[in-house]
Amino acid sequence: MRRVFHTLTAMTVLSLASPVLAQGTLRIGMTASDIPLTTGQPDQGGEGQRFMGFTLYDALVAWDLTRSDKPSGLIPGLATGWSVDANDKTKWTFRIREGVKFHDGSTLTADAVVWNFDKLLKSDAPQFDQRQASQGRSRIPAVAAYRAVDPLTLEITTRAPDATLPYQLAWIGISSPAQWEKKGKNWQEVAKEPSGTGPWKLAGFTPRERAELVPNKDHWDKTRIPKLDKLILIPLPEPNARTAALRSGQVDWIEAPAPDAVPTLKSNGFQIVTNVYPHNWTWHFSSAEGSPWNDVRVRKAANLAVDREGLKELLGGLMVPAEGFMPPGHQWFGKPTFKLKRDLAEAKKLLAEAGYGPGKPFVTKILISPSGSGQMQPLPMNEFIQQNLADAGMKIDFEVVEWNTLINIWRAGAKHDSSRGATGMNYSYFIQDPFTGFIRHLQCNLQPPAGTNWGHYCDKEMEGLFDQIRTTFDAEAQNKVLEKVHEKYVNEALFLMVTHDVNARAMSGKVKGFVQAQNWFQNFSSISMAP
Amino acid sequence: MLSYILKRLALTIPVAFGVSIVCFMLVHIAPGDPLTSVLPPDASAQLQSEMRKLYGFDRPLPVQYGLWVMKTLQGDLGVSIATGRPVASELGKALGNTLMLAVLATMIGFLFGCLFGFVAGYFRDSWIDRLASFVSIIGVSVPHYWLGMVLVIIFSVQLNWLPATGAGPGGSADWAWDWVHVRHLILPAMTMSVIPMGIIARTVRALVAEILSQEFVSGLRAKGLLDFGVFRHVVKNAAPTALAVMGLQLGYLLGGSILIETVFSWPGTGFLLGQAIFQRDLPLLQGTILVLAMFFVALNLIVDIVQSMLDPRVQRA
Amino acid sequence: MSMAAPALTAIAAIEKSPGYWAGVMRRFRRDPVAMAALIIVLALVLMAIFAPFVAPADPYRSSMIRRLRPIGTPGFPLGTDELGRDMLSRLIHGARLSLLMGVTPVFIAFFVGSAIGITAGFVGGKVNTVLMRTIDVFFAFPSVLLAIALSGALGAGIFNGLLSLTIVFVPPIARIAESVTTAVRKIEYIEAARASGASAFRIVRIHVLGNVIGPIFVYATGLISVSLILASGLSFLGLGVKPPEPEWGLMLNTLRNAIYVQPWVAALPGLMIFITSISFNLLSDGLRSAMDIKA
């Protein structure tokens, strides 16, 4: 019966839609609940960038996503090269790639790049867009000024010497000024028909339901011209719905399959693709006045209470237990002395030393989200940790907010009303470079609203280390500083360090040629669909 | 007849007015400043006051309400905070999807409800009655979101016959009445039809039993008059009420679709409402609820008028 | 889920002979279905009250090495949930919040709605118009929509959930109360009592309350099953009880991801809601026919 049914379905599909399917359409079920913003700076976190950022757009600096065997590095993107002035370390020169066309046919120039910076940073510019600015502004805190020297030369001045500028610029997708003019200078209209320089073009989208991307056959990098005919993105925030969609053949690929569903998916012939990538899953503590986490003993107690092996069981093995803020074996790991292991006796002892006990129970509130890019399986995981901490005598209350809301709260800071008095939030981090890995979380001048130091942390020693990172342009020497930073992160238990994701994806056997880079972003150009 | 319609219309206007006030106030009973969720976190004080003006929050409540009603009457329901898209366009699509589901569910429910109700009422107090009544009480007692889950377990997880979620391979954008799409509609529609089935069955059973217990009907039956005549009499007398209940059920299904649409990820108004709630997207929440409630008010009005046309006795009540 | 439009055909005041209640009791006891429903409801209530003594294990105690065990696992007769907690114990403890969230709103709405309806019906005139038109506005919302709109705007939590549900159930009860009171008021003996100069309060207390509370009560019992389903529905959507509390709707929500692994364990909390809801419905039906009220 089942086979007959399948055949029938297959026949119907063939008769109706076979011309499209046969030529290679890849349908992906995302974890986001909506189509990410299409105008250049996507919302929906790292997943938004993955699917609606580096597909439609290119940045000046790009990630090398062609290898799966080593962490990805930076390569030239829309800039063919860059250099920092030997005398004035705040002055950078970027050479713009010649002859790059936007999807609308207009040509990329240094002026267009300046126009894009204004779009994000200059709130009185006509093209300023609040929606994109709130996504992009915090990505480039180093940028102080910029100008087009000539049509193919861009000069950027940073606030202070900052060796991490190229990493920051890798976030900024360049959208077409001409398209904005053509659409009546209205971003709302541009969103429907955006124009970038990326390997994919947006063919259309239905909010909350699907987006359709087609190849940009004229992309400047011939190796990145997509083999597929179509890439379809479908928001499926519910893990169950994603699994169901994959099993029933509605999609060919799902992001973050529910760990519980992995064994059945495997036995049904689906491939599970994983790879380590620079991600961590933490509770970001508040250092605001009155936060119980201001006491290092409390932070350590919580870190010692977490049963990371048990959590791995919960996730069906799809995680790497945290030994620090960076994944184990990372080049910046260093030699921290505080070991992240479950030790309830020690946790209870530390908590008692901090003054908590039967007379003064430990109670606090943590913000969590039910889903979200990089958040893994937030509800059961947080519930599990809640139980772990309860074992050590720490009572945690949760405030559950939707993922995009959590991002906004994260930007607003622990002292903002929207944080609702919580002293921590469950947030998973993209930790790919010195800035996103360390600096942005804890630098004094990045306290909200200026940046994303959500907890309002400010520490003199840490400031000194951060300054060293920015002013050390030699890679080897910079790594040494980064090791010191990481040791301080771990030894002072500045976060609740729980786990690293392995970026699991489940896909049908028909998906060929995908190379999973050790990165948050992926290259979809090499993929084809077996008939 | 006309005077009844006018009277009924006159009664509806203050209710619609009240409904709009309740919807308007939803944003204001929500804890916190409604603007905190609108404003970017790094908004300057100047931007804040500008936004206040833009949204009209600097004016007294009654003025705000008046402006809101004016805009709403022109079809402008504001802009979604989460997506920046107009609420009206988000709603339009979703409403179509929910209507499709709810109408189909009501039809299924009406069909089976009438069948069970009629059989039960006709063979009153027999074992058939007990069985049919039991089925209908299950219909009104079952938590339908659970029933949806159970159907998914049986038909999607175990048997793999029908898809568990969504509105078709391409979402609802390219909906067509072919098998590829319709198979997505089967489980949610079946789940949704259970409540109207139960309620209509219970109503019809009571109606049929009452009509049959009228003296002259039992007289007819005793005389051995053809059952068909009795049947016609029953249908004629029970139809207006049964249809009215069906109309109202359609309204309840439209308004209550959130649970089923959540289970099946059906891209309708309920799904939209769920997203609006969790993103604290108040304009979207307000707009969705206003439109659904107004739909219900209008449906009530239509049902009353149609019923009065079918059955003049109603007008006197 | 939606309540049937409450029958607004005035419920005839019950002529009360001295043996009326005895007759009701006798008829009720002879109804096997209603008696069975009553026993189940009582058992559920007792289970909720004595949950800590009845439950074999701690409902909060999780363990990752025994998560999602099937029904019939030794030591875990109904299996374990996604965090390895004993399902049987969680279902037993779940009765507490689920019943509380389901019954309380109807209970409060019964008093508030009756007070509004009886006042409107007895005083009549402008008071009636103002009260009942306000009630009409809330009645103009489909019940599920109103509950979700209110708790969605107010935010998740037990108190907000209870408040929203109470607001949902006041209008139908007030409407019934008003129509019954209006019908009773027109009955001659009350007119006579008024003519003889008895105080309004006395008339309400003796004549009106005595005659109308019964029908309103029966109607309200019929709402309990709706309320239970709705309350658990709110938790199912994440708008009611918060984790890790055991509550049937919330359990159904968190177990939903396990339907590919342990489908029947995942379905258990819903079964509990179903059993409870159908028992209350059958109980209400039995009560209604025993009291011979047409609704």
Q: End-to-end CA distance of chain B, in Å?
A: 14
Task: Specify the length of chain C in residues.
Answer: 295
pLDDT digits (tens, 9 = 90+) for C7-62: 333 344 444 556 777 888 888 888 898 999 999 999 999 999 999 999 999 998 87
> C142, B252: Cβ pair inside 8 Å?
yes
Residues of C in contact with A314 (CB under 8 A): 64, 67, 82-83
pLDDT given for residue A8 in this prediction: 40
For residues C214 and A483, the model is more confident at A483
Rg of the Cα atoms in chain C: 22
What b/e string do you get for C132-156 counting C-beta neighbours within 10 Å, with b at 16 or more? Answer: beebbbbbbbbbbbbbbbbbbbbbb
What b/e string do you get for C27-63 counting C-beta neighbours within 10 Å, with b at 16 or more? Answer: bbeebeebeebbebbeebeebbeebeeebebebbebe
Say which CATH class C40-54+78-291 falls into.
mainly alpha
| Burial grade of A358 (CB within 10 A; 0-12, 13-18, 19 or more) | exposed
Mean pLDDT of A237-260: 86
Count Cβ–Cβ pairs < 8 Å, chain A vs chain B: 117
Residues of B in contact with C225 (CB under 8 A): 140-141
pLDDT given for residue C92 in this prediction: 96
Residues C98/C248, Cβ–Cβ less than 8 Å: yes
Longest Cα separation, chain B: 87
For residues B306 and A157, the model is more confident at A157
Helix (H/G/I), strand (E/B), else coil: A286: coil
Q: Using the 8-state DSSP alphabet, how is residue A52 labeled?
A: I
pLDDT given for residue A4 in this prediction: 41
Establish if A248 touches chain B: CB-CB under 8 angstroms.
Answer: yes
Side-chain half-sphere exposure of C48, counting CA atoms within 13 A: 20
| Nearest residue in C to B317, CA atom | C9
| Candidates B156, B171, B178; nearest CB to A244 | B156
Q: Which of residues 397-436 of A touch C (CB under 8 A)?
A: 397-398, 400
Mean pLDDT of B129-151: 91
What does the alpha-carbon distance between residue C163 and residue B151 come to, in Å, rounded to a whole number? Answer: 32
Query: What are chain C's partners, defined as 3 or more CB pairs within 8 angstroms?
Result: A, B
What does the alpha-carbon distance between residue B60 and residue B68 come to, in Å, rounded to a whole number? Answer: 12
Nearest to A40 by CA among A146, A164, A172: A172
Establish if C21 touches chain B: CB-CB under 8 angstroms.
Answer: no
Residues A39/A129, Cβ–Cβ less than 8 Å: yes
pLDDT digits (tens, 9 = 90+) for C113-133: 999 998 998 888 899 889 998
pLDDT given for residue C257 in this prediction: 80
Residues of A in contact with B83 (CB under 8 A): 34, 207
What does the alpha-carbon distance between residue B268 and residue C145 come to, in Å, rounded to a whole number? Answer: 14
Q: Is the pLDDT score of A496 beyond 80? A: yes
Q: Is the pLDDT score of A205 beyond 80? A: yes
The bridge status of strand A153-158 relative to strand A143-150 is: antiparallel
Residues of A in contact with B41 (CB under 8 A): 134, 408-409, 411-413, 416, 418, 448-449
CA B305 and chain centroid, separation: 19
Amino acid at B103: V
> C83, A239: Cβ pair inside 8 Å?
no
Angle at A334 between CA A328 and CA A335, to 5 degrees: 95
The bridge status of strand A25-30 relative to strand A253-255 is: parallel
Residue with tokens 């300046």: A114
Angle at C270 between CA C269 and CA C273, to 5 degrees: 95
Residues B145/B236, Cβ–Cβ less than 8 Å: no
> A380, C62: Cβ pair inside 8 Å?
no
Query: What are chain A's partners, defined as 3 or more CB pairs within 8 angstroms?
Result: B, C
* Six token digits for residue B198: 């139960």
CA B100 and chain centroid, separation: 11
Mean pLDDT of B142-151: 94
Amino acid at A107: T
pLDDT given for residue A14 in this prediction: 38
Q: Is the pLDDT score of A65 beyond 70? A: yes
Cis peptide upstream of residue C244 (ω within 30 degrees of 0): yes
Residues A39/A54, Cβ–Cβ less than 8 Å: no
Sign of the C-alpha dihedral, residues C119, C125, C126, C131?
positive
Non-local (6+) Cβ contacts of B241 within 8 A are B203, B207, B307, B311
Q: Is the pLDDT score of C190 beyond 70? A: no
Nearest to A200 by CA among A209, A188, A212, A189: A212
Best of C260, C262, C265 to mutate (most A CBs within 10 Å, chain A): C260
pLDDT given for residue C18 in this prediction: 61
Amino acid at C282: L
Residues C268/C91, Cβ–Cβ less than 8 Å: yes
pLDDT given for residue C9 in this prediction: 35
Residue with tokens 């068909």: B228
Domain boundaries, chain C: 40-54+78-291
Distance from CA of B66 to the nearest CA of A (A): 27
For residues C189 and A407, the model is more confident at A407
Non-local (6+) Cβ contacts of C156 within 8 A are A400, C238, C239, C240, C242
Residues B18/C140, Cβ–Cβ less than 8 Å: yes
Grade residue A77 by pLDDT with cuts at 50, 70 and 90. very high
Q: Using the 8-state DSSP alphabet, how is residue C80 labeled?
A: B
Residues of A in contact with C259 (CB under 8 A): 240
| Nearest residue in B to A124, CA atom | B47
| Candidates B160, B173, B278; nearest CB to A206 | B173
For residues A76 and B307, the model is more confident at A76
pLDDT given for residue A448 in this prediction: 86
Q: Is the pLDDT score of B317 beyond 50? A: no
- Residues of chain A with pLDDT > 70, as a percent, come to 96
3-state SS, one letter per residue, for A87-138: CCCCEEEEEECCCCECCCCCECCHHHHHHHHHHHHCCCCCCCCHHHHHHHHH
Nearest to A508 by CA among A265, A158, A344, A151: A265
Establish if B218 touches chain C: CB-CB under 8 angstroms.
Answer: no
> A2, B32: Cβ pair inside 8 Å?
no
Q: Is the pLDDT score of B316 beyond 90? A: no
Residues of B in contact with A236 (CB under 8 A): 165-166, 265
For residues A374 and B248, the model is more confident at B248
pLDDT given for residue A12 in this prediction: 40
Rg of the Cα atoms in chain A: 24
Average pLDDT, chain A: 89
pLDDT given for residue A483 in this prediction: 95
- Residues of chain C with pLDDT > 90, as a percent, come to 44
* Of A87-101, A211-225, C175-189, C250-264, the least confident: C175-189
| Nearest residue in B to A454, CA atom | B41
pLDDT given for residue B78 in this prediction: 83
Mean pLDDT of C212-235: 90
> C257, A311: Cβ pair inside 8 Å?
no
Sign of the C-alpha dihedral, residues A303, A305, A308, A314?
negative
Grade residue B95 by pLDDT with cuts at 50, 70 and 90. very high
Q: Is the pLDDT score of A24 beyond 70? A: yes
Grade residue A2 by pLDDT with cuts at 50, 70 and 90. very low
Nearest to B299 by CA among C144, C5, C135: C5
Count Cβ–Cβ pairs < 8 Å, chain B vs chain C: 157
What does the alpha-carbon distance between residue B308 and residue B314 come to, in Å, rounded to a whole number? Answer: 5
pLDDT given for residue A176 in this prediction: 96
> A384, C62: Cβ pair inside 8 Å?
yes
Non-local (6+) Cβ contacts of B259 within 8 A are B144, B145, B148, B270, C1, C144, C233, C236, C237
The DSSP string of A335-360 is --SS-----HHHHHHHHHHTT-BTTB
Residues A293/A350, Cβ–Cβ less than 8 Å: no
What does the alpha-carbon distance between residue A350 and residue B277 come to, in Å, rounded to a whole number? Answer: 40
Cis peptide upstream of residue A449 (ω within 30 degrees of 0): yes
Beta strands in chain C (DSSP E): none
pLDDT digits (tens, 9 = 90+) for B19-44: 999 998 887 777 666 665 555 544 55
What b/e string do you get for A296-326 counting C-beta neighbours within 10 Å, with b at 16 or more? Answer: ebbbbbbbbbbbbebbbbbbbebbbbbbbbb
Q: Classify the complex by whether its ipTM is higher than 0.85, answering yes or no.
A: yes
Best of A34, A248, A267, A411 to mutate (most B CBs within 10 Å, chain B): A248
Residues of B in contact with A405 (CB under 8 A): 37, 278-280
Distance from CA of C35 to the nearest CA of A (A): 41
Beta strands in B9-101 (DSSP E): none
* Six token digits for residue B159: 């048997």
Rg of the Cα atoms in chain B: 24
Non-local (6+) Cβ contacts of B66 within 8 A are none
Best of C129, C141, C247 to mutate (most B CBs within 10 Å, chain B): C141
For residues A326 and A207, the model is more confident at A326
| Candidates A243, A261, A380; nearest CB to C83 | A380
pLDDT given for residue B31 in this prediction: 67
pLDDT digits (tens, 9 = 90+) for C56-86: 999 988 776 677 889 988 989 999 988 888 9
Establish if A311 touches chain C: CB-CB under 8 angstroms.
Answer: yes
Average pLDDT, chain C: 85
What does the alpha-carbon distance between residue A504 and residue A496 come to, in Å, rounded to a whole number? Answer: 23
Distance from CA of A445 to the nearest CA of B (A): 14
Residues of A in contact with C243 (CB under 8 A): 379, 383, 386, 398
Cβ atoms within 10 A of the Cβ of A271, count?
Answer: 15
What does the alpha-carbon distance between residue A111 and residue A117 come to, in Å, rounded to a whole number? Answer: 10
* Six token digits for residue A39: 């105008």
| Candidates C145, C155, C278; nearest CB to B141 | C278
Cβ atoms within 10 A of the Cβ of B152, count?
Answer: 26
User: Which stretches of B214-281 are DSSP H helices?
Assistant: 215-222, 227-255, 258-264, 269-278
- Residues of chain A with pLDDT > 90, as a percent, come to 60
For residues A262 and A444, the model is more confident at A444
Q: Is the pLDDT score of A237 beyond 50? A: yes
Nearest to A388 by CA among A447, A315, A323, A304: A304
Best of B35, B38, B39, B42 to mutate (most A CBs within 10 Å, chain A): B42
pLDDT given for residue C168 in this prediction: 94
CA dist list (Å): A486 to A90, A325, C197 = 26, 7, 88
What does the alpha-carbon distance between residue A501 and residue A375 come to, in Å, rounded to a whole number? Answer: 9
Establish if A250 touches chain B: CB-CB under 8 angstroms.
Answer: yes
pLDDT given for residue B102 in this prediction: 94
